[in-house]
Amino acid sequence: MKKVGMLSLGCAKNLVDSEVMLGELGREGYNFTADANEADVVIVNTCGFIDSAKEESIDAILEMAELKKQGKIEKLIVSGCLSQRYHSEMAGEMPEVDLFLGINHVGGIRDFIQTLPKRDEREAKGTWQPDFLYDASFERVLTTAPHTAYVKISEGCDHVCSFCIIPGLRGKHRSRTIDDITREVKGLADKGVKEINLVAQDSTYYGRDLDIKDGLASLLESLAQVSGIAWIRVHYMYPYQVSDRLLAVMREHPQIASYLDMPLQHADRTVLSAMKRGSGRAQLEKFCNRIRVGLPGANLRSSFIVGFPNEDERAFAQLCEFVSEQCFDYIGIFTYSLEEGTSAFPLEDPVPQEVKQERKQHLLEIQREISRKKLAANVGRTFDVLVEGVHPETELLLRGRHQGQALEVDGEVFITEGTYRPGDIIPVKIEESFDYDMAGRVIGGIDV
């Protein structure tokens, strides 16, 4: 059997697509390798969201193309958002690529690879209008640690944010059913998964196309009944759709993380209006306060865009004041990327790149100080920590996360003594804090 290598780029939603493709190939008996030099076929599952992601994807394709030229791999396939967006242009410029696949071709990867040796066309046939949605019948090969998994609850997006190309790449919003998602989560629990991370372009939009009122709350109620799952975390909530019922469900079920990941994008009314996000700083403040009252102690994460075309110094100052006052637990900062096909494209890109970078660094410094103070207040507290494994820089420390820290994007907890397995959940008393991480020992541990 041929060996397949998979290079998955971009977001967790794209990673799920990669795992579905690997699962479909596993059904057919293909073997997998993490070393491209050992692969007969390499699939590069690309991201095409912003310029930096597109550049990373192109670099990865060219790197694999060079291995093909050297005879180290036989066939090269490009899939994902960049291929969905630019497959015709890329087919003309990258003759080394044997086949370009789009969003709709994820579930049919077995047929495409089986017919690869006798293919003449380099762009997959069939519709390129995205409407694919995987379900629990698809096998997945998890590429995360065995104790954690991402589960995509819906695909596509119906919002019209002026900076975003996702609706054009991924299509209209479409939800999986509650029964189907629950069946997949039960299957993951049976395989030893303890942490489920729900992802979608907008998780709070879940179920609308299925006529389910407050769909995310209903889904969480169902998932909370799955035996063996210790933590459930929701990513990418649209701020104005977090309902009182959703907060109540999160409050009532301890395995549902009190964690809200809500990309607010900005705080200035003029910028938000141009982004087609609506609202303004006053409304966002009321919204954040409502969450803190409805879900006391919740960890709040957000992301913001700096350098949008009409973001002047006054608007940026509004954003800085908002971040300073709200004291989010975690934030991500992106510099605006001008994307053709978006409604903001005609505005062009008047903010110089160096100004964008300066604003990004300034906002990150504000958040660094917020994070340092918030984590210092945790010294002496005890958290249940999910062990990830040995720290990559020293075998003297273990690393893990508490329920309010998401995989890869938030801080960590360093465990200073003891031997525990990845996937263990242990009580750790915090003894030291840093800018973004904390360190402590297990309660009842040996003094060192």
| CATH code for the domain in which residue 300 is found | 3.30.750.200
373 shares its domain with 388: no
In this prediction, residue 117 carries a pLDDT of 64
Q: How far is CA 85 from CA 43, 75, 109, 201, 402, in A?
A: 17, 21, 18, 17, 38
DSSP, residue by residue, 75-112: EEEEEEHHHHHHHHHHHHH-TT--EE--GGGGGGHHHH
In this prediction, residue 286 carries a pLDDT of 92
Q: Which residues contact 398 (CB under 8 A, 6 or more apart)?
A: 387, 388, 389, 390, 391, 414, 415, 418, 420
In this prediction, residue 119 carries a pLDDT of 65
**Cβ contact 159:167 at 8 Å:** yes
What's the pLDDT band for 447 if we cut at 50, 70, 90? very low
154 shares its domain with 49: no
In this prediction, residue 294 carries a pLDDT of 93
In a domain, 270, yes or no: no
Q: State the average pLDDT over residues 53-79.
A: 91
In a domain, 367, yes or no: yes
**Chain segment 256-280, per-residue pLDDT in tens:** 999 999 999 999 999 999 999 888 8
Interatomic CA distance for residues 189 and 204, integer angstroms: 24
Q: Give the structural domain span for 317.
A: 287-377
Model confidence, pTM: 0.93
Q: HSE, CB side, 13 Å, CA atoms: give it for residue 428.
A: 31
**Chain segment 276-324, per-residue pLDDT in tens:** 988 889 999 999 999 999 999 999 999 999 999 999 999 999 999 999 9
What's the pLDDT band for 427 if we cut at 50, 70, 90? very high
Interatomic CA distance for residues 289 and 295, integer angstroms: 10
**Cβ contact 64:44 at 8 Å:** yes
Tell me which residue of 45, 44, 27 sits closest to 111, measured CA to CA.
27
Q: How far is CA 88 from CA 44, 115, 121, 128, in A?
A: 17, 20, 11, 11
In a domain, 268, yes or no: no
52 shares its domain with 160: no
| CATH code for the domain in which residue 389 is found | 2.40.50.140
Q: How far is CA 220 from CA 56, 132, 226, 234, 342, in A?
A: 35, 24, 10, 9, 33
Q: How far is CA 317 from CA 269, 300, 323, 329, 370, in A?
A: 12, 21, 10, 20, 17
In a domain, 276, yes or no: no
29 shares its domain with 111: yes
What's the pLDDT band for 444 if we cut at 50, 70, 90? low
Q: State the average pLDDT over residues 48-72.
A: 88
In this prediction, residue 93 carries a pLDDT of 87
Residue that terminates a domain, selected from 377, 401, 432? 377
- Tokens representing residue 432 in the block: 């030291």
Residue that terminates a domain, selected from 196, 227, 262? 262
370 shares its domain with 390: no
Interatomic CA distance for residues 407 and 391, integer angstroms: 15
Q: How many domains does the chain have?
A: 4
Tell me which residue of 268, 335, 260, 327 sits closest to 291, measured CA to CA.
260
What's the pLDDT band for 78 if we cut at 50, 70, 90? very high
| CATH code for the domain in which residue 177 is found | 3.30.750.210
> Is residue 448 predicted with pLDDT exceeding 80?
no
400 shares its domain with 329: no
In this prediction, residue 194 carries a pLDDT of 96
In this prediction, residue 115 carries a pLDDT of 80
**Chain segment 148-164, per-residue pLDDT in tens:** 999 999 999 999 899 99
Rounded to the nearest integer, the mean pLDDT of the chain is 92
- Tokens representing residue 3 in the block: 């060996």
12 shares its domain with 113: yes
**Chain segment 330-386, per-residue pLDDT in tens:** 999 999 999 988 999 999 999 999 999 999 999 999 999 999 999 999 999 999 999
Q: Which residues pair with 123 in a beta bridge?
A: 100
**Chain segment 188-247, per-residue pLDDT in tens:** 999 999 999 999 999 999 999 999 999 999 999 999 999 999 999 999 998 888 999 999
**Chain segment 11-42, per-residue pLDDT in tens:** 999 999 999 999 999 988 899 998 888 899 99
